[in-house]
Amino acid sequence: MPDCCIVGGGVIGLSIARELARRGRSVSVVSRNTLRKSASWAAGGIFPAQPRDTITDRNGTPIERLTQYSDRLHEQWTKSLLEETGIDNGFRRCGSLAVATTEEAASQLQADEQKWKRLRVKHESLSPTDISDIEPALRGAVATRQVRRAFYLPDETQVRPPRHLAALRSACLTNGVEIFDSHHVRNFEFDSSRIVAINIEDRDSTLLPICADQFCIAAGAWSEQLLQKLDIKLPTKPWRGQILLHKVKPGMLRHIINFGSGFDYMIPRDDGHLLIGSTIEDVGFDSSTTPSALSRMNKLAYDLLPDVRAQEPISSWAGLRPGSPDGLPTVGRIPSADNAWLATGHYRSGFHLSTGTAHLISDSMCGSPTEMQLDLFSTDRAGLNGSAQPTK
């Protein structure tokens, strides 16, 4: 019987499994779908620029502290994952440009600037000449005044989600983690206030128990259904995000481009892949792409980057982000069971927050002190009774 069983094999479940295994725990991961169907595989992999000074509870919010804690851990994880698995997860401090192409986006950038100043995130307002020097691909858009305002954030980072997931999976297997794919967790077996087993349904619809000493639910957008079986009411709404993929000359675009509207971006990879995202749609568990969204995102790139105009996109996909009523993740103990934990609701930042979440959950499961107080992200925190609409 393993010490720990993790339900969910996305970036959150795999990161927790890897961290527990590194601490000497025997771990099983049970996942319903293949990785390609998770939000994690679909992610863009942007890690917004963080302040170089440490955020404390005096100058930042709990989520800002968790983000910085996670961001710093990513550097170490990237190094150790490469050493353990030989897989380069694409972690690069490539920097970004926050650009405004509309008046509305320009005023959003002003609000963003206030936040960067408050947190002391390194940023620089760019003149039209600066924009063309730093990002020559935007020279045409600057000349035609399509780009009205831009800031440079040198510390913004990217990671390649499918590669990071492959590295996590490989590291888990090397550390003895057992991974059960295509197994749907249906319910839980209790002995008094402890979960003794989860019942999984395999491909032949046979129900099998998996016993463990401790359990953690990390089932992303599907967590709500499972938690209901544990008498926990936690709205975890799926928010669909679509992404379009082009292939351009490597180096054609040097930085991540974030549009001041908040949700749209372009991410250039080292090998010339160019991701254009995204949407935020409330369409239930439908993870298909739509022609209207893909054509809007294509236009975004066509308008700014002449080199993309000559090309057809090479692929597209969508994933379901796990939302939460107050936009915060829920990370901590499950009140209705003595030996169960929960890590879900990471919405637009699950990749970024995965390392900090893994450390907090592993500390708690191993009975060690946690870097941050878990009640900030608990199921009974203030704010969870609000609407199911996450904030930006």
Ligand X SMILES: Cc1cc2nc3c(=O)[nH]c(=O)nc-3n(C[C@H](O)[C@H](O)[C@H](O)COP(=O)(O)OP(=O)(O)OC[C@H]3O[C@@H](n4cnc5c(N)ncnc54)[C@H](O)[C@@H]3O)c2cc1C
Binding residues for ligand X, rule: CB under 6 A, are: 7-13, 30-33, 38-40, 42-46, 184-185, 218-222, 226, 241, 243, 277-278, 319, 321-322, 344, 346-352
60 alpha carbon, distance to own chain's centre: 20
Q: Which is nearer to ligand X, 46 or 365 (CB)?
A: 46
Mapped onto helix, strand or coil, the DSSP state of residue 214 is strand
Q: Which is nearer to ligand X, 132 or 319 (CB)?
A: 319
165 alpha carbon, distance to own chain's centre: 11
Cβ within 8 Å of residue 207, ≥6 positions away: 186, 199, 200, 201
Ranges of H-type helices in 189-232: 223-228
Nearest distance in Å: CB 144, ligand X:
29
Count other C-beta atoms under 10 Å from residue 52's C-beta. Answer: 10
Ranges of H-type helices in 148-193: 161-174
Nearest distance in Å: CB 142, ligand X:
26
Helices then strands (H, E): number in the chain? 11, 19
Nearest distance in Å: CB 97, ligand X:
16
Q: How far apart are CA 60 and CA 132, in angstroms?
A: 34
Q: Are the CB atoms for 375 and 41 separated by under 8 Å?
A: no
Closest CA relative to residue 197, chosen from 205, 188, 206: 188
Q: Are the CB atoms for 187 and 76 separated by under 8 Å?
A: no
Beta-bridge mates of residue 319: 241
Q: State the number of CA atoms in the 13 A half-sphere of 268 facing the CB.
A: 22
Q: Which is nearer to ligand X, 9 or 51 (CB)?
A: 9
Q: Which is nearer to ligand X, 109 or 361 (CB)?
A: 361
Q: Which is nearer to ligand X, 142 or 300 (CB)?
A: 300
Q: How far apart are CA 261 and CA 263, in angstroms?
A: 6
Q: Which is nearer to ligand X, 25 or 348 (CB)?
A: 348
Nearest distance in Å: CB 157, ligand X:
10
Q: Which amino acid is at 357?
A: T
Q: Which is nearer to ligand X, 123 or 183 (CB)?
A: 183
Nearest distance in Å: CB 341, ligand X:
13
